[in-house]
Amino acid sequence: MGYKADQWLVGLIYEQGNFNDVNFERQVRVNGVPLATGSDAKSWYLTGQYAFGNNTVRAAYGQTDTGIDGESTIDNYRLGYQYNFSKRTWIWAEYSGRSADTPLYGDQDVVAIGTRILF
């Protein structure tokens, strides 16, 4: 779901699903009992963008609940900037971070820098 007006853009994503088939902790069984129990996994993500002149600034924040009992939620965040030289050429820099304290996921920081030229 999203909304765009003039130079503003806002979006929201919500997902809910069952991780029984892909979550390692739920696949492992000890004496027939799953290593982990829980409910459905849930994620939401809120994004925003503001464009002014040839510049665009983006930010996003979201959380993931793995659905495994006893695991903390995972916080995800992003901050980015884009400069448009033209409609077909731009550069960008973006920071993505994750704050997590689970057995399979830990904190992570990533910086991406790039350019795009459409022919």
Q: Domain ranges for the chain, please list them.
A: 2-117
User: Which of 14, 73, 16 has the alpha carbon at shortest distance from 46?
Assistant: 14
Q: How many CB atoms lie within 10 A of CB 27?
A: 13
pLDDT one-digit tens code per residue, 45-93: 999 999 999 999 999 999 988 777 777 789 999 999 999 999 999 999 9
pLDDT one-digit tens code per residue, 13-47: 999 876 555 555 556 667 776 666 667 788 999 99
State residue 69's pLDDT score.
73
pLDDT at 108 over 60: yes
**Amino acid in the structure at residue 87:** K
User: Which of 18, 24, 9, 23 has the alpha carbon at shortest distance from 43?
Assistant: 18
Q: At 88, phi and psi to the nearest 5?
A: -115, 0
Q: How far apart are CA 95 and CA 113, in angstroms?
A: 9
pTM for the model: 0.75
Q: How far apart are CA 94 and CA 103, in angstroms?
A: 27
State residue 48's pLDDT score.
97
pLDDT at 114 over 90: yes
State residue 18's pLDDT score.
67
State residue 35's pLDDT score.
63
